[in-house]
Structure formats: C-alpha cells, structure tokens
Structure 1
Amino acid sequence: MRFKEQSKQYYILGHGAISFSVINFEIVEVIDDNGKKVVHEFIKLPEDFEFARKYVGGYHSDHTNQFGKSNISKIYGFGPYLIDTLELDDYKKISIEEFENQCVELLFEYKINREIKFAEFIGNVKNAFKNIKMSSHEFYQLLPPEWKYYDISSFQLSDYLCGFSINRVDKILTVIQIDDE
C-alpha cells in the first residue's frame, strides 16, 4: 500500500499551545480488509509525512535530563511514539463520535480568556468532524500502552490524541491529531 497526501486542515489555539490537524491521504493500490493493517501500513511506510507528525527520517531533539546534561538526538517517531514499537494491537476501533468527545474534552482544558478565538477553534474542530463522519467507514484511535511513550519526544502524552478514519469507497485515510505545539 502507498499513501499520497491529498489535503490538510490545521488550526492553532493560544499561539501554538495546542493544534488540531486533519490530513487526508489517498490510499494507492488495494485496501486491506483489516482496518488496523491499513493504519499500520501508513505508520510503517518508510516515508516522512511531517504534517501528520510521522518522522521516519527523524527529527532532531535537544533533551536536557534531570542532572542538566544536554543530549541532541534524532527521533524516528509518530507523534510521541517510536515507530518501531507500534503494533496492530495499538490501534483501538472506536466510534468517531467517541473520539470527537475525547478531543472536545481535551480542548476545553485549554479554554483561554479570548472566548471568540476559542469558539472559532472549537467550531473548526466540530466542522471537521462533521465532514469526516459523512464519509467514514471505520475509525481507529492510536492507543498504545504508556510504556511506548518516548519521553524525550517533543510531544506531551497528556496533550496528544490521534485517530484514523478509513473511507473505503473513495480510498481515503484521514489522520486526525491534537497535540501541544
């Protein structure tokens, strides 16, 4: 299977405190019957999709440990997880409505004083979900065990959600992510 980036939506709240992205990928070639395998193929594909937080080629991270020692390393990951640790069992089939509720709950923790900006942001999120719901046939959440979290990644696990919608008719994989920027 191959994937070709088709379109993207990206919204930022609070000068980059948190972001919401929706990226559509065309699924080139045959779609596997098992949706978990489709998601896994996307993550394991040896190609970077930077906007989808997928870094097969790696990105540089400057990490300072508790003793003040700095270490610059290259991280090969998908969001806050190392790609090599992810397995089929790390994708949980859920309803898109359940995932939307998780996203909205997380975002309400970031409600800022600028009510208008927050309302616009939430409106964009809900509109994106409305569009995805119309064409989604299967939905999976990336939900690996906590030990797979790579603590020197640039993402905080408590502020990261990722879901995958599969549209089998149009052969589209949609990656939805909320993360702290």
Structure 2
Amino acid sequence: MNFKELSNQYYVLGNGEIAFTVIDYAISGIIDENGRNVVHEFINLPEDFEFARKYVGGYQSDHTNQFGKRNISKVYGFGPYLIDTLELEDYRKLSVEEFEKQCDEMLSEYNSNSEIEFMEFIGSVKSAFKSVKINSHEFYQLLPEEWKYNDISPFELSDYLCGFSINRVDRIFTVIQIDDD
C-alpha cells in the first residue's frame, strides 16, 4: 500500500493552545482486509508525513528533564509515541461517534475567554467530523499502553488524541488528531 496526501484541514485555538487536524490520503495498492494492518502500515512507511505528526526521518528534540539534565536528540515518532514501539493491538476499533465524543470532552477544557473564537473552532471541528462520519467504513483510535509514550516528545499525552478512518470504496485513509501544538 502507498499513501499520498489529498487534503488537510488544520484548526488552531488561541495562540496554539490546541490544534485539530484532519488529513486525507489516497490509498493505492491492495488494501489489507484487517484495518489494523492498514493503520500499522501507514505508521511504519519509511516516509515522513509532517502534517500527520509522523516523523520517520526524525526531528530535533531539545529536552530538559525534571532534574535539569538537557538532552538534544533526534526523535522518530508518531505524535507522542516512538514508531518502533507501536503494535497492532495499539489501534482500538471504535465508532467515529465515540471518538468524536472523546474529542468534544477534551476540547471543552479549552473553552477560553474568547467565546466566539472557541465556538468558531468547535464549529470547524464538527464540520470536519460530519464529513468523516459520512465517508468512514472503519475507524480506529491510537491507544497504546502509557509506557509507550515518549517523554521527550513535544506533545503532552493528556492533550493528544488520534484516530484513523478507512474508506475502502473511495480508497481514502483519514488521520484525525488533536494535539497541544
């Protein structure tokens, strides 16, 4: 299977407090019957998809731990997880509606002083989900064990959600992410 970016939607609340991203990819080749294998293959392709927070080629990380020790390294990850730790059981099958509910709960914590800005942001999120619901045949959430979290990642685990939609008819793979951009 190969994946080629078709489109992306990127919405940011405030000064980058939280971001919501929806990226569609065209799938070419034979689509595996097991949706978990499709997700796993996307994550393990030897190609960066920066908009999807997928860094096979790595990115520079300058991290200081709680003891004040600084570490500059290269991180090879998908969101806050190291790619080589992710396995098939880390992709939980669920409905788009369940995932949307989780997103709503997380985003409600960011209702800021600017009610208008927040409502516009939530409106964009709802609109994006409407399209995904219509076109999704299978949906998976990235939900690995907490020990797989890369603590030198720029992402906070408490502010990260990721889901994958597979549309087998139109051959579209969609990545939805919320992160503390």
TM-score by length of 1: 0.99
For the aligned residue pairs, the C-alpha RMSD in angstroms reads 0.5
Q: What is the aligned length? A: 181
Please show how residues 1-181 of structure 1 align to structure 2 within 5 Å.
1-181=1-181
1:154 aligned partner, one-letter code: P
Per-residue CA distance 1:70-116 (angstroms, 9 max, x = gap): 11000000000000000000000000000000001100001101000
Q: Which amino acid aligns with 1:46?
A: P
Paired with 2:135 and 2:68, the residues of 1 have a C-alpha distance of: 49
Moved over 4 A (4+): none
User: How far apart are the structure 1 equivalents of 2:8 and 2:147?
Assistant: 30
**Helix, strand or coil: the match of 2:128?**
helix
Matched residue SS, 1:102: helix
Percent of counterpart pairs with the same letter? 74
1: CA distance, partners of 2:69 / 2:146: 25
Distance 1:137 1:65 in 2: 42
TM-superposed CA distance for 1:65, in Å, is 1.8
Q: Deviation per CA, 1:23-51: give whole Å up to 9, x if none.
A: 00001111010000000000000000000
* Unmatched tracts of structure 2, length 5 or more: none
1:88-147, Cα deviation, whole Å (9 max, x unpaired): 000000000000000011000011010000000000000000011111000000000000
Distance of 1:57 and 1:119 partners within structure 2: 37
* Cα offsets for 1:133-178 (capped at 9, x unmatched): 1110000000000000001100000000000000000000000000
